[in-house]
Amino acid sequence: MYDTIKAAAEEMRGDVISFTQKLVQTPSTSGEEGQLAQLTVDKMVELGYDKVFVDDMGNVVGIIKGSGERPNIMYNSHMDHVDPGNEANWEYPPYGAVIADGFIHGRAASDVKGGMATQIYAGALLKKAGIRLKGDFIYTGVVQEEPAEMFGMKYLCEKTLPSKNIAFGLMVSSEATSLNLYLGHRGRVEMEVVTKGRTSHGSAPWLGVNAVYQMMPVIEEVQKLAEALPAHDFLGKATIALTIISCSPGRLSIIPDVCTVSLDRRLIPGETAEQVVAQVQQIIDRIKEKQLDFIAEVGVRKVLETSYKGYVEECQKYMNPWSIPQDHPCVVEAVQALQNIGQNPGYGKWDFGTDASYVTGVLNIPTIGYSPMEEKYAHTPYDRVNIEYLVKSVAGNAAIAYHIAG
């Protein structure tokens, strides 16, 4: 059967390449995924998926029915991507999907449209080869992963799947892994620190309190905190980084009375949002003891997200850390499946965050990452996916499904 899977993947080579190009050629920045969603729906219908639908938020679900004797396996990709930025920085047009040097080039080729194509075609491979699994093969494409609030994934798992009596025992994420198995990543909290002062004319700064100057000791103490953060044996070091600084009114000749900084805090297991906010609050409290006119506050950033179908929700910028061990049964079976088709995956972790923070970090459903894409190209003007990896990933995804749910 594994020889059949490898041969079928090779037969699909041209179709997979063409579909990946169409995906890359279809812009789908966060909140604008509608056209891409329809493209994937049409493709799954064409490929013979038993059930295909779009939920009220705009997430896409495609199902190939199994016999019901084993838990379902869910393959997941996010449909959105980051903005291409300055097109002058690109060697190839960001939506051109140009084939060169054995790669398909373009925005989201590595995050995650190459992986999306291989997941969708893995289901089609099983169907075409007449392989009926004992659990359902479920493909899901979710909206708005890039803003990092798990907006689409939470809705899918909390509302859409339960409402249709759909459950799953393992998620396979298409985030970039270079055909290796990725088993976790750090969590993330985006904090906002605000210092407050008093405006005055820029010609008479002594009449005001400059909120930017009030922020300077906070930044200095945050730098010291960064050096003392703990580390995890597998996921690496916890970090904190200042990413945005702004002030208001932000006008010439006016001393600013409000300064805001965003802090990107990466968490390791055992750390919580409450704990990391408390660390910054302690910095604020220490400064207040020395500086009586110091006014500051810190909290987890909240944003209002709207999906392309008009669903609106306030989201907190917080993602749990998670990992699963190499000896987890799902990992062991995935390795065996890939070895059966001649692949020898290593193990890794993502530097960035994924929607598995919700599936595994909150719901405790195991996730493994497996895809043809390479993390080093994500969010860069060198975005690309290796064509040989694409074909191997179709076979790999199908083999994992066959071994675990077959």
> Mean per-residue pLDDT for 76-92?
97
pTM for this model (two decimals): 0.94
Sequence-distant (≥ 6) Cβ neighbours of residue 8 within 8 angstroms: 125, 128, 129, 395, 398
Work out the pLDDT band at 406, boundaries 50, 70, 90.
confident
User: Alpha-carbon distance 51 to 158, whole Å?
Assistant: 20
Residue 126 · residue 396 · CB < 8 Å: no
The enclosing H or E element of 390 equals: helix 387-405
What pLDDT is stored for residue 41 in this prediction?
Answer: 98
Distance from C-alpha of 405 to C-alpha of 138, rounded to nearest angstrom: 11
Partners of 26 in beta bridges: none
Distance, in Å, from the CA atom of 54 to the CA atom of 112, rounded to the nearest integer, reads 19
> pLDDT band for position 174 (50/70/90)?
very high
Distance between start and end Cα atoms, the chain: 11
> What tens digit of pLDDT does each residue of 292-325 get?
889 999 999 999 999 999 999 999 999 999 999 9
CA distance 220 to 243: 14
| pLDDT score recorded for residue 193 | 98
- pLDDT exceeds 90 at position 268: yes
Cβ-proximal residues to 97 (8 Å cutoff; 6+ apart), any chain? 20, 21, 22, 24, 25, 104, 105, 106, 109
In this prediction, residues 199-207 reach a mean pLDDT of 97
Alpha helices in 156-304 (DSSP H): 161-163, 211-227, 273-290
Q: Whole-number mean pLDDT of the chain? A: 97
User: Phi and psi of 26, rounded to 5°?
Assistant: -105, 100
Q: What is the pLDDT of residue 292?
A: 86
For residue 4, count CB atoms less than 10 angstroms from its CB and return exposed for 0-12, middle for 13-18, buried for 19 or more.
middle
Ordered structural domains, the chain, with CATH: 2-185+321-405 (3.40.630.10), 187-304 (3.30.70.360)
Backbone angles phi, psi at 360, to 5 degrees: -95, -40
The whole-angstrom separation of Cα 368 and Cα 349 is 10
Q: How far is 201 from 115, CA to CA, in rounded Å?
A: 55
Name, in order, each residue with C-beta under 8 angstroms of 212's C-beta and a sequence gap of 6 or more.
195, 247, 256, 259
pLDDT band at 404 (very low <50, low <70, confident <90, very high): very high
What is the per-residue pLDDT across 315-354, written as a single tens digit (0 to 9) for each?
999 999 999 999 999 999 999 999 999 999 999 999 999 9
Query: What are the C-alpha distances in Å from 207 to residues 83, 184, 201, 299, 387?
Result: 43, 52, 8, 29, 64
The pLDDT value recorded for residue 389 is 98
- Burial label for 392, CB within 10 Å (0-12, 13-18, 19+), is buried
Output the CA–CA distances (angstroms, integers) from residue 366 to 58, 322, 330, 361, in the order listed. 24, 10, 8, 9
Q: Taking a C-beta distance cutoff of 8 angstroms, is the pair 125, 9 a contact? A: yes
Residue found under tokens 């969010």: 379
For residues 208-214, give the mean pLDDT: 97
Q: Which helix (H) or strand (E) holds 11?
A: helix 2-11
Q: What is the 3-state secondary structure of 97-126?
A: CEEECCEEECCCHHHHHHHHHHHHHHHHHH
